[in-house]
Amino acid sequence: MPDNKVNGFLEYLKKERSYSRHTIKAYETDLIQFSRFVKEYGGTGSFDVSSVDKKTVQHFVGSLTEKGLSPKSTGRKLASIKSFFRYLLKHAHVESNPASAVKAPKQHATLPKFLQKEVLEQVLSHSDKDDWQLKRDKTILELLYSTGIRLSELVAIDMGDVQIDQKTVKVFGKGGKERIVPFGGKAAEALGFYFKERNIHVQKDLDDNPLFISKQGLRISPRTVQSRLKKLFDSVAAGSGFTPHLMRHTFATHLLDHGADIRAVKELLGHASLSSTQIYTHLETEKMKKIFEQAHPHA
């Protein structure tokens, strides 16, 4: 069972910070694990927050590393402890935050994967045998590739958000932040054809006016988009590991390949800071290294 102060912190996250149930559960799991460690580490069998110092937290982080926990997961647990002690400090339960100066293990940056243009073109090729749902799926794919928007942003688009003559779409990103994203001619063409099919199959008495609809004529769900597009890719390249987020990486990578400014890509992706976008410059560096190694006599 969580400690009373942990319970107070979890209630604070729920009522004052409006965190999701899933996020609160993750905090609870991390803090229960930490409290158990403190009880064993101190040898008292109790979780006394005032007795926790920097060395205690460092030893906890070290124990996680010894158990083989990834740097990312260890960092998340450390972040939970830091948040917990910030709460305790704010409410005068402790005099300082012992975790504030503890550094998380360094994470090895994983370069984003992206799709080759040839695979994309093969998947997007049209056939007379395509039914309206398959045409919808390929329109979704064209829009994802042309805009780099997130899956959550895509399924939330309403008909009124699309200006096909202007080739722009209004999307709402993280925190409800609105942005206008341009799309290309192929996406505009695909949308034009899809609109005709949509108007036939959409339920007429809907309260909202979704752009992409399901087989039942309702707003399409993220899960349906994910499973339908994965099936589409697997039919061309089995085991492609396709996810809708892969289209976001592909969009950014192909833009930078053709000379786009990284700050423009940041705005198109809806990133809050440039640091989130700079992973793609690492990708460019890796490609340049390969070209150098293949071409330079002294490589």
Tell me how far apart the alpha carbons of residues 160 and 279 are, in angstroms, rounded to a whole number.
34
Amino acid at site 147: T
The answer as to whether 204 is a domain residue is yes
Select from 37, 72, 90 the last residue of a domain.
90
CATH code, domain carrying 139: 1.10.443.10
The answer to whether residues 78 and 11 belong to one domain is yes
Q: Using alpha carbons, list the distances in angstroms from residue 31 to 18, 69, 81.
A: 19, 16, 7
Number of domains observed in the structure of the chain: 2
271 is catalytic: yes
Residue 59's pLDDT is 93
The answer to whether residues 236 and 132 belong to one domain is yes
Residue 108's pLDDT is 57
Residue 118's pLDDT is 74
The answer as to whether 265 is a domain residue is yes
The answer as to whether 104 is a domain residue is no
The answer as to whether 47 is a domain residue is yes
pTM score over 0.85? no
Of the candidates 136, 134, 151, 141, the residue with the CA atom closest to the CA atom of residue 222: 151
The answer as to whether 299 is a domain residue is no
Residue 236's pLDDT is 75
245 is catalytic: yes
The answer to whether residues 213 and 169 belong to one domain is yes
Residue 296's pLDDT is 60
Q: Which residues of the chain have pLDDT under 50?
A: 1, 111-112
Tell me the backbone φ, ψ of residue 168, rounded to 5 degrees: -135, 155
The answer to whether residues 210 and 247 belong to one domain is yes
Catalytic residue chosen out of the listed positions 17, 55, 174, 177: 174
pLDDT tens per residue across span 225-273: 999 988 888 877 665 677 887 888 888 887 877 778 888 888 888 877 7
Q: Are 100 and 88 in contact (CB under 8 A)?
A: no
User: 């740097």: which residue's tokens?
Assistant: 71
The answer to whether residues 43 and 145 belong to one domain is no
The answer as to whether 101 is a domain residue is no
Instruction: Locate 202 and state its tokens.
Output: 């959409």
The answer to whether residues 258 and 222 belong to one domain is yes
Tell me how far apart the alpha carbons of residues 150 and 244 are, in angstroms, rounded to a whole number.
8
Catalytic residue chosen out of the listed positions 82, 138, 150, 219: 150
CATH code, domain carrying 32: 1.10.150
Tell me how far apart the alpha carbons of residues 89 and 210 are, in angstroms, rounded to a whole number.
46
The answer to whether residues 62 and 133 belong to one domain is no
DSSP string, 201-261: HS-TT-SS-BSSB-TTSSBPPHHHHHHHHHHHHHTTSTT----HHHHHHHHHHHHHHTT--
Catalytic residue chosen out of the listed positions 82, 248, 249, 266: 248
Residue 50's pLDDT is 87
Select from 72, 90, 108 the last residue of a domain.
90
Residue 291's pLDDT is 56
The answer as to whether 213 is a domain residue is yes
Instruction: Locate 243 and state its tokens.
Output: 């996810």
126 is catalytic: no
Q: Are 9 and 91 in contact (CB under 8 A)?
A: no
The answer to whether residues 202 and 78 belong to one domain is no
Range of the domain at 57: 4-90
The answer to whether residues 274 and 183 belong to one domain is yes
Q: Give burial (CB, 10 Å; 0-12/13-18/19+) of 184.
A: middle
Tell me how far apart the alpha carbons of residues 204 and 218 are, in angstroms, rounded to a whole number.
10
The answer to whether residues 176 and 69 belong to one domain is no
296 is catalytic: no
Strands 178-182 and 168-172: antiparallel
The answer to whether residues 16 and 77 belong to one domain is yes
The answer to whether residues 167 and 220 belong to one domain is yes
- Beta carbons within 10 angstroms of residue 164's beta carbon: 14
21 is catalytic: no
The answer as to whether 270 is a domain residue is yes
266 is catalytic: no
